[in-house]
Chains A and B, each alone.
Chain A
Amino acid sequence: MPSSPLVSIVIPSYNHAPYVAEAVASALAQDVPLEVVVRDDASIDESWRVLREMRDARLRIVRNDANLGAHATLHAALDEARGDYLAILDSDDRYAPQRLARCLALLRDGPCDLAGTDIRLIDAAGRAVAAHWWIDAFARLKAVWRETGDWTATLLEGNVFMTTSNFVFSRRLWEKLAPFSAHRYVHDYDFLLRALIHGARLGWIDEPLLDYRLHEANTISESPLHANLETAALLREHMPALLAGRGKNSARAAARLRHLGSQWARTERHEQEILLALQHEASTAKDRDWKKLVDDRDQWIAERDHWIEERDHWIAERDERIAERDHEIAALRHEINEFRRRPLISAWRLKTASARVRLAGWYASARQLLAMANAPVLRAGSYAALRRLVEARRTRLDALSLDVFDTLVARVIEPPGHIARRVAQCLGERIGNADIDGILAARGEVEAQLRAAAQAAGGDHECHHDDIVAGWIARVAPRHTAEEQADLAGFVAGREYEFERLALTAKPAARLFLQWARAAGLRIVAVSDMYLGERQLRRLLDDLGYSGLIDCIYVSSEHGIGKYSGRLFAEMLAREGLAADRVLHVGDNFHSDALAPVRMGLAGVFFDERHERRRRRRQRSAAIFAERGGVWPGRMLAEVLAERLRSDERAKLDDFFFQYGLEVLGPVFCCFLLGLVERVRRDRPERVFFLARDGALFLRMYEAWGTLTGIGLPPAIYAYASRRVVASAALADGLDCERALIGLYNPKQRGLQSILKTYGLAAESFAGIAREHGFATLDERISNWSDPRLAAFLADERVQEKVRPAGEEARALLHDYFAGLGFFDHARVAMVDIGWNGTIQRFMTSAFGGAESCPHIDGYYFALVDGMHAEALAQGAIEGLMLDRRRGEPQERAACDFEELFEQGARAPHATTTGYRRGADGAVEPVLKNDDAPDRQAEIRCNPLIAAMQEGVLLCLEHFHAAQRLTGFGFDALKPYALALIERAVVYPSPREVAELGRLAHTEDFGHDDLLDISARSVRWRDFLHPRTLRAKLALLPWRYAPFARLRTPLATALARAQHLMLSEGRKP
């Protein structure tokens, strides 16, 4: 700029980027000719960028290359200023708009050399600060100026100008006083005092025309202590010149001294405060540091102590182990020395060490028991003995407490856990899981957990059936919904109750004993360790006939405590209000029912029924062996069956035939029925036809089984049919050699007469033709079945012409009779008969099989000998359940070695069917044999015996069903044992059986009038010397083993059996 302005505003700038623009703008806004010189002291913030963006003709911005300090920057800026008057503005302060105009007016018109104004304090945001100690200090200094009007006194009191921003001075003054002193905090104060000393005139405008910014980066607040020290040094430096008298006014001098003293005192006070504060801070910092160090040290000490403790612990362990080892070494050394001293004895001791330990255990337990022997542990071997015991103590007793299982009720199956296995099988079938072992294992786990939890909770290890079932279902069927699980739980509980009910029978002697005890005035309490609930137990006992006999029941599952610990007894005594010494407890478990009550003060009776223990032993072994298969499952079922029958009064009927049906035929026929039901459920025929007469018993058994089981079986129909009517109907195709030979099967056959009688043909009408073909008489025995005379007779057309019409009529009647039974209305039917060749089924299939209405026939036979008919069945199936010759199993053949026994056992009381006739309404009725025939009379006389036998079989069926439900064995598992029973009954009968069964009258096959004599012929030992004679004799007998029953040993029978088996290979069936 060519001309020098009136005022130069100098703005030194360093790191005041937020404020420098405002400061420069306020300077440029002054209404006087001016220049603004801004010198940036190498700011490291945005100050230089802000300054560069400012454009004004009056503005000059310079930047130092390096940071030179506030002092040098200010001087460099002042050197560059060209104005006549100089004003300094700090880069964080700002001018009021009229400040320079007013100051200039004061400088020119004052006249004065340096002017200042009142200051308004602002904060970092530029807002006026209302209250601050700075304002109070400044007001005090302004008050001194107003009071005294003396610049020296005022300045001795303090720097009323406060900041270099408040300086507006002439160049002449600057040239006289330049430069500013090197003080960091008081260079402006020093300038003022030197101006005073040099006689400069100061001016003051009492209007706030300068905004002084107070912020955290103010220079004065960096180190107040140093500021005060500099102030004190400055005053000391200028004090003589200031106080040297210019005038003779002693008051003024005194005032100046006073103000100086005041400032000095203030300064010293400030210094002391600052020093104290610094000391306090230093000591606090020291304390903090010390505390940190002390804490660290304490922590290290604690860790060290912990390590020392651990180390001591390890040392102690090690010492222990060393001591143990030393002890062992000493013991071994002692042993070795002993061994060296007495080798033989030591060797013996070593060898018997384990045995001696075991003996010591036994001795200890025996001593414990003997110690208890003083207490009243009583024994009763039966209910009679128990009654004598109770009678002897009647006056000393108020109540009787009895165990339930094996004392009041008897089990028919062992072990009791078998019921859980059966329930698991039923559950597995229901949910479609075949892993029975897994399901049972889940139950075991749930029960063990519940028991452990109960014991941990403070009770004995007892749990409740409902909890077991709920946990079991949740584990086995986790994906089922809550309703399904509840349904399954109900199913499982029902099955378990059903099996328990089947497995338990009441002891009659127990019921009588309880009745007597109640009559004698004793209270009856039942105490049992059982997982079933009290409600279920009560229901069981009521079903078994104990209703009204037992006053109350205590079950371990309900109370969570057991008998074996004695706590259940204590509970019972407390609840019933009984004294312990007036109660007698009876039970079968030695520890729970004899020792535990004695410990609690009751009298304990060990109920030791010998037959019960034997039964338990036997059945437990049977259950173990049943897992092997073979005969053992059947034997186990027979054990269960025998136990059930033992407690059934109906089974004690003293009638040979009833007992024979119950014990011998019953299990065999029941096994057959089981197989029949399995096949019927597998093949699902629409109707089951039981053929007369041998199907009568089977029909009754089938219907009884359906009632007992409750499962829907196909309906059963009794069909009157016999081989006689079927053979007659077969003549419709003519009488050929094969059919004729059927009449010759009977060993006592009478040639043509037997043949014609077999087919119901009148023998007289064929006499002439027979004579023509070489037969002298019709009843001539035909030994050679390929006799040419027979062949010629049968080939004669006249014979066939007589035979066919009769056959066709018989066939039509047969067809109509079965149609009337609905035989041809179904697609699949079953036929059940005793056997032996399936003649009726074969004929039905061959005669009617071509028609579309003929159903598929499944034939189920007790025994299928299959000797007469060689051809395979055209359609349908034929199967012998107990014996099927096609299987070629020789151990099955006992059934066909005495067929008559099974026929007699299963037959109906009515006569055999000889034919059919049409009734008045067109329905076909069977024609039975005349009751006047002598063989029929014999049969009628035997009917009561047969009826008794069949009653025995039906009673056996009832218990067999229960036993089969309990054991869960199927037909295939039971069949081997049934074969053994058949073998025993047929091959090894007792003499009484032979004698009684010989009374039965058996008609020969095909409705002949002769009775088959099934009694025994006498066979003596000397007959064995003539084996061929013996063999011929035996061949005539229907029951070839009957004669051997008289012999004492079964060895002869076994030999005969072996011989029979050897010879039967080549024998024509």
Chain B
Amino acid sequence: MSSGRRARMVLPVWKILLMHMPFRLLRRGGPGFAPGVRASFAWLGNMGRHMLFDRDRLKYFAIRLRQFFPLR
């Protein structure tokens, strides 16, 4: 339920970009609901960076390693 709601109400950025593509290709009209290609890639990059380099997770991961594999 929640993921469905988020997808219909909070549109994924790639979907907004895709929806805007016909208008961009046909060069019709102003910006409208264009997210901007650069902004879209920046957003996706942000999300990727957060997922990869979540510092709390790395720290916690290191601590759990220590708990499971204690140094002699």
Known A980-B11, A981-B11, A1062-B26: A987·B19 in contact at CB below 8 Å:
yes
Closest chain B CB from A896 CB (angstroms): 15
B47: chain A residues within 8 A (beta carbon): 617-618, 621
Closest chain A CB from B13 CB (angstroms): 8
CB of A621 within 8 A of CB of B33, answer: no
CB of A1054 within 8 A of CB of B62, answer: no
Interface status of A979 (Cβ within 8 A of chain B): yes
CB of B9 within 8 A of CB of A891, answer: no
Interface status of A843 (Cβ within 8 A of chain B): no
Known A613-B54, A663-B8, A1058-B22: A889·B60 in contact at CB below 8 Å:
no
A977: chain B residues within 8 A (beta carbon): 11, 33
Closest chain A CB from B62 CB (angstroms): 6
Using an 8 Å CB-CB cutoff, how does the interface string of A1040-1069 with B read, 1 for contact, 0 for none?
000000000010001101100110000000
Closest chain B CB from A551 CB (angstroms): 30
Q: How far is the CA of A817 from the CA of B34 in the complex (A)?
A: 46
Known A366-B62, A608-B60, A1054-B21: A625·B28 in contact at CB below 8 Å:
no
CB of A983 within 8 A of CB of B28, answer: no
Which of B2, B5, B39, B59 lies in contact with A590, CB distance below 8 A? Answer: B59
B10: chain A residues within 8 A (beta carbon): 635, 638-639, 642
A888: chain B residues within 8 A (beta carbon): 29
Interface status of A667 (Cβ within 8 A of chain B): yes
Using an 8 Å CB-CB cutoff, how does the interface string of A632-671 with B read, 1 for contact, 0 for none?
1001001101100110000110100001001110010000
Give the A-B pair count, Cβ closer than 8 A: 134
Which of B29, B50, B59, B63 lies in contact with A891, CB distance below 8 A? Answer: B29
Interface status of A890 (Cβ within 8 A of chain B): yes
CB of A628 within 8 A of CB of B39, answer: yes
Which of A635, A983, A1055 lies in contact with B19, CB distance below 8 A? Answer: A983
Q: How far is the CA of A523 from the CA of B33 in the complex (A)?
A: 53
Known A366-B62, A373-B66: A983·B33 in contact at CB below 8 Å:
yes
CB of B23 within 8 A of CB of A652, answer: no
Interface status of A430 (Cβ within 8 A of chain B): no
CB of A889 within 8 A of CB of B32, answer: yes
Using an 8 Å CB-CB cutoff, how does the interface string of A159-192 with B read, 1 for contact, 0 for none?
0000000000000000000000000000000000
Known A639-B10, A988-B19, A1061-B23: A652·B1 in contact at CB below 8 Å:
yes
CB of B5 within 8 A of CB of A1054, answer: no
A618: chain B residues within 8 A (beta carbon): 47
Interface status of A370 (Cβ within 8 A of chain B): yes
B30: chain A residues within 8 A (beta carbon): 889, 891
CB of A1058 within 8 A of CB of B26, answer: yes
CB of A632 within 8 A of CB of B54, answer: no
Residues 903-920 (chain A) with a chain B CB within 8 angstroms: none
Which of A608, A613, A1061 lies in contact with B22, CB distance below 8 A? Answer: A1061
Highest count of chain A CB atoms <10 Å: which of B1, B47, B63, B71: B63
B66: chain A residues within 8 A (beta carbon): 370, 373
CB of B26 within 8 A of CB of A1061, answer: yes
CB of A889 within 8 A of CB of B29, answer: yes
CB of B60 within 8 A of CB of A606, answer: yes
CB of B56 within 8 A of CB of A613, answer: yes
Known A635-B11, A1058-B22, A1062-B26: A891·B32 in contact at CB below 8 Å:
yes
B64: chain A residues within 8 A (beta carbon): 379
A942: chain B residues within 8 A (beta carbon): none
Using an 8 Å CB-CB cutoff, how does the interface string of A620-634 with B read, 1 for contact, 0 for none?
010011001011100
Q: How far is the CA of A981 from the CA of B28 in the complex (A)?
A: 19
Q: How far is the CA of A295 from the CA of B70 in the complex (A)?
A: 78
CB of B34 within 8 A of CB of A631, answer: yes
CB of B43 within 8 A of CB of A621, answer: yes
Residues 970-1006 (chain A) with a chain B CB within 8 angstroms: 976-977, 979-981, 983-984, 987-988
Which residue of the partner chain B has the closest CB to A373? B66
Q: How far is the CA of A483 from the CA of B60 in the complex (A)?
A: 52
B42: chain A residues within 8 A (beta carbon): 625
Which of B18, B26, B63 lies in contact with A377, CB distance below 8 A? Answer: B63
A890: chain B residues within 8 A (beta carbon): 23, 28-29, 32
Q: How far is the CA of A1050 from the CA of B54 in the complex (A)?
A: 33
CB of A641 within 8 A of CB of B9, answer: yes
Interface status of A364 (Cβ within 8 A of chain B): no
Interface status of A534 (Cβ within 8 A of chain B): no
Highest count of chain A CB atoms <10 Å: which of B10, B16, B34, B64: B10
Size of interface on B: residues with Cβ below 8 Å to A: 45
B2: chain A residues within 8 A (beta carbon): 646
CB of A980 within 8 A of CB of B5, answer: no
CB of A659 within 8 A of CB of B32, answer: no
Q: How far is the CA of A641 from the CA of B64 in the complex (A)?
A: 36
Closest chain B CB from A889 CB (angstroms): 5
Q: How far is the CA of A976 from the CA of B33 in the complex (A)?
A: 5
Q: How far is the CA of A1050 from the CA of B20 in the complex (A)?
A: 12
Known A628-B36, A630-B36, A642-B6: A1050·B60 in contact at CB below 8 Å:
no
Q: How far is the CA of A987 from the CA of B16 in the complex (A)?
A: 12
B9: chain A residues within 8 A (beta carbon): 638, 641-642, 645, 663-664, 667, 981
Highest count of chain B CB atoms <10 Å: which of A590, A651, A888, A891: A891
Closest chain A CB from B8 CB (angstroms): 4
B4: chain A residues within 8 A (beta carbon): 659, 663
Which of B15, B16, B50, B63 lies in contact with A370, CB distance below 8 A? Answer: B63
Closest chain B CB from A161 CB (angstroms): 121
Interface status of A350 (Cβ within 8 A of chain B): no
CB of A1054 within 8 A of CB of B22, answer: yes
Highest count of chain A CB atoms <10 Å: which of B4, B28, B39, B71: B28
Closest chain A CB from B72 CB (angstroms): 13
Closest chain A CB from B16 CB (angstroms): 5
Closest chain B CB from A45 CB (angstroms): 103
Known A984-B11, A984-B15: A642·B56 in contact at CB below 8 Å:
no
Interface status of A369 (Cβ within 8 A of chain B): yes
Which of B20, B28, B50, B59 lies in contact with A369, CB distance below 8 A? Answer: B59
B50: chain A residues within 8 A (beta carbon): 617, 621
B33: chain A residues within 8 A (beta carbon): 630-631, 891, 976-977, 979-980, 983
B13: chain A residues within 8 A (beta carbon): 635
Using an 8 Å CB-CB cutoff, how does the interface string of A341-376 with B read, 1 for contact, 0 for none?
000000000000000000000000010011011000
Interface status of A892 (Cβ within 8 A of chain B): yes
CB of B56 within 8 A of CB of A625, answer: no
Q: How far is the CA of A379 from the CA of B13 in the complex (A)?
A: 33
Which residue of the partner chain B has the closest CB to A371? B66
A613: chain B residues within 8 A (beta carbon): 54, 56
A651: chain B residues within 8 A (beta carbon): 5
Known A617-B50, A667-B9: A630·B35 in contact at CB below 8 Å:
yes
Which residue of the partner chain A has the closest CB to B9? A663
CB of A370 within 8 A of CB of B62, answer: yes
A987: chain B residues within 8 A (beta carbon): 19
Q: How far is the CA of A654 from the CA of B47 in the complex (A)?
A: 31
Closest chain B CB from A615 CB (angstroms): 10
Closest chain B CB from A594 CB (angstroms): 9
Which residue of the partner chain A has the closest CB to B51? A617
Which residue of the partner chain B has the closest CB to A588? B56
- A residues engaging B (CB < 8 A)? 366, 369-370, 372-373, 377, 379, 590, 606, 608, 613, 617-618, 621, 624-625, 628, 630-632, 635, 638-639, 641-642, 645-646, 651-652, 654, 659, 662-664, 667, 888-892, 976-977, 979-981, 983-984, 987-988, 1050, 1054-1055, 1057-1058, 1061-1062
Shortest Cβ-Cβ A-B pairs, 3 listed: A891-B32, A980-B33, A1058-B22
Q: Given contacts A590-B59, A617-B47, A1054-B18, could you give 10 more A-B pairs where the C-beta distance is less than 8 Å?
A: A370-B63, A370-B71, A625-B42, A638-B11, A639-B10, A663-B8, A664-B9, A891-B32, A891-B33, A984-B8
A-B contact pairs, 22 of them (CB 8 A): A370-B62, A372-B63, A379-B60, A617-B50, A625-B42, A628-B36, A628-B39, A630-B34, A631-B16, A632-B39, A635-B10, A642-B10, A645-B5, A651-B5, A654-B1, A662-B5, A890-B23, A891-B28, A980-B19, A983-B19, A1050-B15, A1054-B19
